[in-house]
Amino acid sequence: MSVSTELPISETFLSIQGEGVLTGVPSYFIRLSGCNLRCVWCDTPYASWKPEGEKRSIEHLAQTAAASGAGHVVVTGGEPMIFPAVETLCEALSARDLHITIETAGTVFRDVRCDLMSISPKLASSTPREGDQRDPGGSWRRLHEARRIDIGALQALLDRYPSRQLKFVACEVADLAEIEGLLSRLHGWRREEVLLMPEGVTPPSVDQRAWIARACIERGWRYCTRLHIDLFGHTRGT
């Protein structure tokens, strides 16, 4: 089967990495449109619940990324790993000496060229609620719940990518036990690779930051900010 030379793109933009170990690094973002999950709090519904955008040529995407002047490119979504052609995109970016971060929920393994694999497994609190108007009949609720954790895919990603981070969106204290349970089923990760990030599209409250920081201190994990939310609010293209 031939791999496409195009990818569905909802947006591309130059901004600053707002999350994770590369926070603060100027980066060119390529957001693929389409996702195999439907998080209830998804902050990019235009790439998941209602995927928007158009197909763009991989060569043109790579050229534009290189021309942006940023040395770092973030390939995000949606879920970039569901698209076989993401491998071609990353080859084209790497050929231009760009540092590549892939942001994935970790439900699909793909052997792709990447300098930082940013894995964000989705917890039970991400599952759409019964009666969600975006999901009449609940088919996405069931699919999301069945797909959101794939231990085989997560372990394969950890094994393949020595440069990685495990980033969790924390909604409530109960999430901590689920994260610990998940980590206990995986091996080879280091505590400092585990990042805990407050949920939300507004700056977190002091209380929210405090319990997350305490949880990180107790476990040797890292607190993860959302710098782009602090700087720009919840605005597309930032």
* Interface with ligand SF4 (CB under 6 A): 35, 37-39, 42, 44, 47-48, 77-79, 105, 122
Q: Residue 75 forms beta bridges with which residues?
A: 30, 102
CB 214 → ligand SF4: shortest distance, Å? 25
CB of 91 or CB of 150, closer to ligand SF4: 150
Query: Hey, CA dihedral for 198, 104, 19, 32, is it positive or negative?
Result: negative
Nearer to ligand SF4, 35 or 73 (CB): 35
Q: Which of 84, 148, 75, 92 is nearest to 111 (CA)?
A: 84
In the complex with ligand SF4, the residue whose CB is nearer, 44 or 225, is 44
Specify the residue, 126 or 225, whose C-beta has the smaller distance to ligand SF4: 126
How far is CA 89 from each of CA 8, 73, 77, 187, 238, rounded to the nearest angstrom?
12, 11, 14, 29, 22
Task: For the CB of residue 147, give the shortest distance to ligand SF4 in the complex, in Å.
Answer: 10
CB of 8 vs ligand SF4, minimal distance in Å: 13
Contact by Cβ (8 Å): 5, 88? yes
Determine contact, residues 12/70, Cβ cutoff 8 Å: no
Cα separation, 178 vs 173, in Å, equals 10
CB of 59 to ligand SF4, least distance (A): 25
Closest separation in Å from C-beta 220 to ligand SF4: 26
Taking the least distance from each CB to ligand SF4, the nearer of 68 and 118 is: 118
